[in-house]
Amino acid sequence: MTQAPPAPQGVRRRHDREIIGLAVPAFGALVAEPLFVLADSAIVGHLGTRQLAGLGIASALLTTAVSVFVFLAYATTAAVARRVGAGDLQAAIRQGMDGIWLALFLGAAVIALTLPAAPGLVDLFGASSTAAPYAVTYLRISSLGIPAMLVVLAATGVLRGLQDTKTPLYVAVAGFVANAVLNAALVYGVGLGIAGSAWGTVVAQCAMAVVYLRVVVRGARRHGTSLRPDAAGIRTSARAGGPLLVRTLSLRAVLLIATAVAARLGDADVAAHQIILSLWSLLAFALDAIAIAGQAIIGRYLGAGDTQRARDACRRMVEWGIAVGIVLGALVILARPVFLPLFTSDTTVTEAALPALVIVALSQPVSGIVFVLDGVLMGAGDGPYLAGAMLLTLAVFAPVALLVPTLDGGLTSLWAAMTLMMTVRMLTLWLRARSGRWLVPGAAR
């Protein structure tokens, strides 16, 4: 960030209220999302090991497919927030509708690809002959809910841009409850087995999409916004999302490389890696909640042409990111003796995980800065820079990580490489934030 005197105490308190008001509900909604998979796993797990293995493979494929399109939420949040800041709610909702239409078209394309390709995709993931039929069944049925999932992403972005993170929280919690009830009823009550779990999830996701659409359509009618697809607007949404797609794919590549390297270290190391990665992802939810607040707040300030408030908000959110990172790191250190036994009683796995967990704990303040600045630059619509920065990070991380097995570094060295990756991200994002080039005012970037 460009150097400037600290904001007055009253301004800092106002930023704090905004950040907390947006981040806390966003955190709740983020935590509710993975509960869908947990509920499915708990219900299907009692059907048998083959069914659970099939669910695991299909869920991994579905999660990967949907996470690739998370730009629908990020890009829509930034674009809508800018127009809210400019005082043009009609244009804000119109931009949101363009994102929702793009989500529907992308969802239809994914269905068209997934239905015939399901057996091949399942084989690609190395499913056994006994688990594969269940994985194919779940994948084909669940893919029918992908358009709804993508609509939920885009509509969530609309509401975040409108500075509303409470409605997504309510919808996420209601969706989780409906999913759990439907799955139990269809799997055991109706006797549909794993297909019942898939149908229950599809129905819950479609219901969530309908709720979101009702909220957005009501806002569109209130402000006289057309609901029809606009080709130019959809193209604009796609162009804004393109760089964020590159960023997301690069980040997914980092995680895949890390898992592949862990697999080469041995069974104990890869088991420990999966435990640590699960914790790392959970910690990311807390930090990502601040990033989501950053997207909405920064977009609104820049849309209003107030670059000074955007700069002040960025600085305050970085302070929040560091503070939350320190707290999370301390909790990881303190909870290690309790956390690891929840996942394994194998002392070999525990011994591999303990030193790597220390590295994860120490790196949390760095992660806090990364998540916050990532959100700030997304809110500013600085997608092309984020894409380039993430590609550079991948180029630095990949050769270092791939050297870990060769140098007999073990899991601790792999997570040191992951910390290097986050440090490179922090440096690239900090340099951009400090330059001030992201401070582009106006209703559109």
Q: What is the pLDDT of residue 335?
A: 86
Q: pLDDT tens-digit profile of 368-380?
A: 999 999 999 999 9
Residue 57's pLDDT is what?
Answer: 76
For residue 34, what are its two tokens?
A: 């993975």
DSSP letter at 346? -
Q: Whole-model pTM? A: 0.86
Q: Which token pair is 134?
A: 């269940």
Q: What is the DSSP letter of 442?
A: S
Pinpoint the alpha helices (H) of 125-230: 132-143, 146-161, 166-184, 194-222
Paired tokens of 390: 């993430």
Would the pLDDT of 169 be above 50?
yes
pLDDT in tens, 78-112: 999 999 999 988 989 998 999 999 999 999 999 99
- Cβ-count burial 234-252 (b if 16+ within 10 Å, e if not): bebbbebbebbbbbbebbe
259-263, 294-298, 389-393, range with greatest mean pLDDT? 389-393
Give the residue among 346, 341, 363 at the shortest CA–CA distance from 266: 346
The answer on pLDDT for 286 being more than 60 is yes
Q: Are 22 and 331 in contact (CB under 8 A)?
A: no
Q: What is the per-residue pLDDT across 53-66, written as a single tens digit (0 to 9) for each?
A: 777 778 777 877 77
Task: Answer whether residue 11 shows pLDDT above 80.
Answer: no
pLDDT of residue 129: 78
Percent of the chain scoring above 90 in pLDDT: 44
pLDDT band at residue 34 using 50, 70 and 90 as cut-offs: low
Output phi, psi for 82, to 5 deg: -60, -45
pLDDT value at residue 62: 82
Rg (CA), the chain: 22
355 pLDDT higher than 60:
yes
Q: What is the pLDDT of residues 218-227, one digit of tens each?
A: 988 988 888 8
For 244-262, write each residue's pLDDT tens digit. Answer: 999 999 998 998 888 888 8
CB 136 within 8 A of CB 122: yes
- Write the pLDDT tens digit of every residue in 193-209: 888 888 998 999 999 99
